Amino acid sequence: MDQLIENPTEKEMKLQRYIQSLHEELQVAHQNKVSLQEALTEANKQAKVDDSKTVKSEKLEEVLKAQAQLQEEKQIITEDNEKLKAKVDDYEVYITEIEQEKRKAEEEKKLIEEEKEKVEEQYLKEKQITKELKTKVADNELYTARLMKEREQWSQIKETSTIGLQFNYLIPSMGKSIID
């Protein structure tokens, strides 16, 4: 269980302290049982040595009372231990569920990061394409302006040529009418 809980919560820490105290009480009860058994053994030895029935019965009563008390304590500790085991099982299920949710959230976060990287990459590509298209549009506008300027220059040259041709045509004809 310690391997599953890296950062125990306050409830989990209380539960661990409670389990520890129950283990200590169980050890004390076990030591009491051993002491009582030793006392019973001693009482049995003394009972054999001592012929008095009253001493035997008093010691036997003490031992029987101690055994009954020990049995009651053992039963209480066993019940508490079972309850704690059930709580521990519940907490382990809860911890497992939380770990699964954590893994799922981490996977979703990873997918979101990957999607974000793709979107950023696509944005950079589109930004580069937009920049290239703006450059092409600017180049085309410059080219168009240059073509318009050349067209205007050709129009002026054409007008000048036409005026010259008209002038040349008019002068020789005027000369013939004057001569005639």
Domain regions of the chain by residue span: 10-179
Provide the pLDDT for residue 157.
80
Q: Is residue 66 a contact partner of residue 39, using CB atoms and an 8 Å limit?
A: yes
The packing angle between helices 10-49 and 53-179, to 10°, is 170
The region of weakest confidence among 13-27, 47-61, 104-118 is: 47-61
User: Does the predicted model carry a pTM greater than 0.75?
Assistant: no
Q: Is residue 95 a contact partner of residue 4, using CB atoms and an 8 Å limit?
A: yes
Model confidence band, residue 12 (pLDDT cutoffs 50, 70, 90): confident
Measured CA to CA, the distance from residue 155 to residue 148 in angstroms comes to 10
Provide the pLDDT for residue 79.
92
Q: Region 120-140: what's the mean pLDDT?
A: 95
Neighbours of 88 (CB within 10 A): 15
Residue appearing with tokens 């893994």: 103
The helix/strand/coil state of 51 is coil
Residue 49 pLDDT greater than 70, yes or no? no
Q: Distance of CA 49 to CAs 2, 39, 54, 57, 59, Å?
A: 54, 15, 13, 14, 13
